[in-house]
């Protein structure tokens, strides 16, 4: 099963959504996927969104923020943050992904892939994201090991975002 979000669908959503800056992010190319990039099935999109939820929750916990505080600082709604953290079937809007990327200083391109907002996903990014989520426990405070894993994953996201 292919991901239901095509480039044409995304272009129509961008044109219809007055809340987003259409100049944000890289232009949608018409070329085919890169060699290490694959179109993924819905089941794998859900796995990526689990990783997104873990990432956002742990970044928020690292900064000792409540959901309300993060929403206020990132200029997004509390409901959106809550749904990203807890509902892997929730499709985050491009504005939310952009705002979280900007607030946490994480690569927008990689965060968009983890959010399932792109048609194709880098295979190694997918593997790292799923591995990261599997290693992470849902606890109220981060252990030293979870903090190291979080820092390493964010560094990897940003390093790949520069390439």
The pLDDT, as a whole number, for residue 28 is 47
Distances 99 to 28, 56, 93, 132 between C-alpha atoms, Å: 19, 12, 10, 22
Could you give the CA distance from residue 14 to residue 18 in angstroms, rounded to a whole number? 8
pLDDT in tens, the chain (163 residues): 455 666 777 677 767 775 555 444 454 444 454 556 667 677 788 888 999 999 999 999 999 999 999 999 999 999 999 999 999 999 999 999 999 999 999 999 889 989 988 777 888 888 888 888 887 765 556 778 877 888 888 888 888 666 5
Phi/psi of residue 64, nearest 5 degrees: 55, 50
The pLDDT, as a whole number, for residue 156 is 81
- Whether pTM > 0.75 for this model: the answer is no
Could you tell me the residue ranges of all domains in the chain? Answer: 7-18+34-162
Tell me the HSE value of 31 on the side-chain side, using a 13 A CA sphere.
6
The pLDDT, as a whole number, for residue 145 is 82
The pLDDT, as a whole number, for residue 162 is 63
The pLDDT, as a whole number, for residue 123 is 84
Phi/psi of residue 88, nearest 5 degrees: -70, -5
> Mapped to the 3 state alphabet, what secondary structure does the chain carry?
CCCCCCHHHHHHHHHHCCCCCCCCCCCCCCCCCCCCEEECCHHHHHHHHHHHHHHHHHHHHHCCCCHHHHHHHHCCCHHHHHHHHHCCCCCCCHHHHHHHHHHHCCCHHHHHHHCCCCCEEEHHHHHHHHHHHHHCCCCCCCCHHHHHHHHHHHHHHHHHHHC
Could you give the CA distance from residue 16 to residue 11 in angstroms, rounded to a whole number? 9
């Amino acid at each position: 099963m292919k991901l239901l979000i095509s480039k044409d669908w995304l272009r129509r959503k961008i044109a219809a959504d007055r809340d987003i800056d259409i100049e944000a992010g890289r232009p949608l190319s018409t070329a085919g996927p890169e060699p290490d990039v694959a179109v993924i099935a819905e089941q794998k999109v859900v796995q990526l969104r689990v990783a997104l939820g873990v990432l956002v929750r742990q970044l928020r916990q690292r900064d000792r923020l409540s959901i309300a505080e993060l929403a206020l600082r990132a200029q997004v709604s509390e409901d959106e943050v809550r749904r990203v953290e807890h509902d892997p079937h929730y499709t985050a809007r491009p504005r939310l992904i952009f705002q979280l990327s900007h607030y946490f200083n994480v690569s927008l391109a990689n965060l968009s892939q983890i959010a399932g907002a792109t048609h194709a996903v880098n295979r190694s990014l997918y593997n790292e994201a799923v591995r990261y989520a599997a290693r992470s426990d849902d606890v109220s405070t981060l252990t030293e090991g979870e903090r190291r894993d979080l820092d390493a994953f964010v560094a990897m996201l940003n390093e790949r975002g520069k390439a």
